[in-house]
Structure 1
């Protein structure tokens, strides 16, 4: 009987030990770092997620597994920010101007270049600037070169899963995409890559990217130049690309329409009339492209300073 009891105790101890080990394994899997492990694990050659049948589409695990497939299917060029939209700073920038760029852009990391963006020299982090020169710390002489961190340079054809692994290994959060001639083609962050797996990531400073325009007053809009022309036409119930001087097949955005009407890249503050009687005011532009526009429809009342009579409550952001 004693032997039987002893055997039962041994079995219970082994069972308890196994249960404890199982609980510990489950706890390890539930830790936050498990996300990265699962993402990187999806790059294993033995992964058969692409061949597995789709379970209930309502489950979050299914959405996650479908996103994991993007690590192999998608390339860097599919998710990168195009060169024209990259916000960067020259290596000769002054501290006051650098602070203003950080404030206006809402970015925490900015690539720095020498001469042109095709000659990048590194990346400047807002935290480095704040720790060295912020919090009322004005004793250190500003030197951008000492704050620059190295950048990754990747080809546009690289699978995003490979880049994600590389970023994790080298502890880099930003990479510049380089074309076949060595010029900068785009920019990608680690957040851009992870979003392809788990969906959009937004923080307190993110704005609604789908908001391409805002109505300041009846008949007056502030719009991004990249606003799709057809969507804006539907909003104002007016065809802007119909006319002998305008070829609709060659125009996709409001900025493209204004460029065609002006015959050149208009400068900030320039007024470009439309045959319908509407007017386009260039609110923001650089020598290469238009960024923001104010659109006044025919019949809209205009107050002092060229703006609509009712003050604006909201502005589009570029």
Structure 2
């Protein structure tokens, strides 16, 4: 499978002048912290390390796409022939604004659909002219070994926020967003749909809780009036996310439901391969009330 994301409607190729605005913001940052050949030789002569990047910026060169991408099994995607109602439900359930679209299987991606395009074209119920193919946007394809700084620069140049990771056989190996890459430099980014920093959980309709994985376990136990860890485990776990990892012995994937022996269920709402982000907690007594 081949794909060339460049085209007449894309950002022009980089100019020879390194200060050209076409290089993009991230390109200039990346170059600013990349030593020249002469600097590398000088550092080598002095016995110093060839680069002195701050830890966050160093990730642009030392981390690969495969280090930050989510595996293919966790990708929320839709077939090109999906019905209008089903597409609305996927957007609603996943909370995603961009969804990869495939033909046949995910290994044959043909683009992505953006929630904004869907809403502008069809409003809140106009199905008469529904045509998913007409709304498709192009995708970027990246090999697992690509440095995240290179992909970040390419995304900024091509004005795309999502890339599929393609293995050596042309199959889809994972997915990465521009937010995933920027977080490796700046740290966790909370958007307008994330719970507030000082508000660890919100109560949803029906009595379930939408909670941050970093919610202090003691506070949440007090909220629901239930002990979730045994006394001998109290020193091992401090947060809801830590409790779920303790229950499973691993980092669960998005969409997975983890039962607790005492009755509550933890649904993984948002996660990446390294950490949990948001959970939906269903407590039987609360649901019954």
Q: Which of 75, 90, 99 is the aligned partner of 1:86? A: 75
Does the C-alpha gap of structure 1 residues 85 and 147 become closer, same or farther in structure 2, counting only changes over 3 Å? same
Partner of 2:178: 190
CA contact (8 A) 2:78 2:101 kept: yes
The whole-number CA distance in structure 2 between the counterparts of 1:206 and 1:149 is: 26
**Residue 100 of structure 1, aligned match among 71, 79, 89:** 89
Identify if the C-alpha distance between structure 1 residues 102 and 233 changes in structure 2 by more than 3 Å, giving closer, same or farther.
same
The CA distance in 2 between the partners of 1:135 and 1:215, in whole Å, is 26
Report what 1:62 is aligned to.
none
Q: Could you tell me the TM-score, scaled by structure 2's length?
A: 0.58
With over 3 angstroms needed to count, the CA separation of the structure-2 counterparts of 1:165 and 1:214, relative to structure 1, is closer
Alignment of 1:45-64 (within 5 A): 46=36, 51=50
1:134-169 Cα distance to aligned partner (Å, 9 max, x none): 277666x11111211222222222110111222233
Task: Kindly name which structure, 1 or 2, has the bigger radius of gyration based on alpha carbons.
Answer: 1
Q: What is the rounded CA distance, in whole Å, between the counterparts of 1:293 and 1:45 in structure 2?
A: 49
Aligned counterparts of 1:258 and 1:200: Cα–Cα separation in 2? 24
**Where does residue 16 of structure 2 map in the other structure?**
none
Please tell me whether the aligned partners of residues 165 and 173 of structure 2 are also in contact (alpha carbons under 8 angstroms). Answer: yes
Higher RCO (CA-CA < 8 Å; seq separation 6+) = 2
- The answer to whether the aligner puts 1:133 opposite 2:122 as a matched pair is yes
Q: Secondary structure at the match of 1:119?
A: strand
- 1:138 and 1:86 map into 2 onto residues whose CA distance is 26
Partner SS for 2:133 = helix
1:2-17 map, 5 Å: none
Q: How many residues align?
A: 233
Q: Deviations over 1:60-109 (max 9, x none)?
A: xxxxx542221101111222223343222222222233233323433221
Q: Distance in 1 between matches of 2:199 and 2:169?
A: 36
**Runs of at least 5 residues in structure 2 that lack an aligned partner in the other structure:** 1-18, 41-48, 222-226, 233-241, 250-255, 270-278
**What RMSD in Å do the two structures reach over aligned CA positions?**
4.8
Unaligned runs of 5+ in 1: 1-28, 55-64, 243-251, 260-266, 286-290, 297-301, 310-318
